[in-house]
Amino acid sequence: MKESKAVSPPIDSRRWFVDELGKYLARKNLKQTKQRQALIDVFLGAATHVSAEELHSAARGAGLDVGLATVYRTLNLLVDAKIVEQKQFSEGRFVYEIAQPGGHHDHLICLDCGIVIEFANDEIERLQEKVAAAHKFKLTSHRLDLFGHCQKQNCERRAGN
């Protein structure tokens, strides 16, 4: 149910996603199964950030009889394959998002309604590299989450988040 914007939406990333997964499965001698295919379809059709539980009920709702364990196993597989990223905005549970072929982005999260806006800022990234270099670190990844309150009129209404 959550919206997301400000970074190019994954319109043509479906092909990329399926290709990468195929390559990964082949490389690891793993198999293409009905459940994996279906979960991927559900995932691609779902919101930008989904939890395992949400993916599970979405799949069930779509008529697929899949176990929660399989959802977790599939998500972990996709993370291993580096085509999905595991995030944690609200404490206590992971959400997953489809990795963007090229770019990295960070998140701006509304504490009231839970909306997650993605953004990218090269200048910040550059400064991060500078900080890392100053401490003799080789940077491999980072996480930048900004928390605050959005100014939407319909905000705060969604108390569920």
Partner DNA sequence: GTGAATGCAAACATTTTGCAGGGTG
Partner DNA sequence: CACCCTGCAAAATGTTTGCATTCAC
Q: Which residues bind DNA (CB under 7 A)?
A: 25, 29-36, 51-53, 65-70, 72-74, 76, 92-94
Which residue lies nearer to DNA by CB, 76 or 100? 76
Please provide residue 15's backbone torsions phi and psi, each rounded to the nearest 5 degrees. -60, -50
Query: Which residue number, 22 or 101, has a Cβ lying nearer to DNA?
Result: 22
Assign residue 158 a region (left: φ > 0; alpha: ψ between -120 and 50; beta: otherwise): beta
**Cα distances (Å, whole numbers) of residue 125 to 55, 139, 141:** 32, 11, 10
108 binds, among its own copies, DNA, none (CB under 5 to 8 A by kind): its own copies
Cα 149–Cα 155–Cα 156 angle in degrees, nearest 5? 85
Cβ neighbour number for residue 14 with a 10 Å cutoff: 14
Q: Which of 15, 61, 65, 91 binds its own copies (CB under 8 A)?
A: 91
Q: Is 99 in the site for its own copies (CB under 8 A)?
A: no
List interacting residues with its own copies (CB under 8 A): 6, 88, 91, 94, 108, 110-111, 117, 119, 121, 123-124, 127-128, 131-132, 135-151
